[in-house]
Amino acid sequence: MRRTRIGLDIKILGGLFLIFGTVDLIVIELFPAYAFKLFGVAVTGPSSYLVKLHSPAVHLLIGYGFLWLRPWAWGLSLAYAGFGLVSETMNQLSFGFHPVRSAFMATTLLFAAYLIQRRTLFTDGDQAATHHSPVSGDLH
């Protein structure tokens, strides 16, 4: 009997990431003058539009990868969590303490810990199935 990977929790998170990515795009379009804070710098001007587009692009990629349990999505999401934590730490130091940034940092740490716990869901299903199979075919 072969076990199938379901990962409904990760697939729901994938759907949420797709929603976040879409909302990011809408917010960028509705508020093009918004100064995006990244690594302790407020990015303004015409180039800020391109800088801001990284967020929805990564959210949409992670969402797609989570929906289909792609191994690269696990690594991308952890890398992006690290990126966000470093950037928000620098923002806290540059712009002062802010409760929303602090809450983002706390939830990002919890999210990363959860993903690390669920890592095996993103591994090759065939390897996971053969890893736990009995050595002898005589066992019933």
How confident is the model over 59-79, as pLDDT tens digits?
A: 999 999 999 999 999 999 999
In a domain, 72, yes or no: yes
Quick check: helix, strand or coil at residue 43?
strand
In a domain, 105, yes or no: yes
In a domain, 88, yes or no: yes
Instruction: Give me the pLDDT at residue 88, please.
Output: 94
The larger pLDDT score, comparing residue 132 to residue 42, is at 42
Average pLDDT over residues 121-128: 65
In a domain, 131, yes or no: no
What's the number of domains the chain is made of?
A: 1
In a domain, 132, yes or no: no
- Measured CA to CA, the distance from residue 140 to residue 138 in angstroms comes to 6
In a domain, 134, yes or no: no
Average pLDDT over residues 104-118: 96
For residue 35, which phi and psi values (nearest 5 degrees)? -85, 105
The larger pLDDT score, comparing residue 15 to residue 130, is at 15
In a domain, 136, yes or no: no
Residue 127 has pLDDT above 90, yes or no: no
Confidence of residue 6 (pLDDT cuts 50, 70, 90): confident
Residue 47 has pLDDT above 90, yes or no: no
For residue 103, the enclosing domain spans 8-123
DSSP string of 88-129? HHHHHHHH---HHHHHHHHHHHHHHHHHHHTGGGGS-HHHHH
Confidence of residue 131 (pLDDT cuts 50, 70, 90): very low
Average pLDDT over residues 89-97: 93
In a domain, 3, yes or no: no
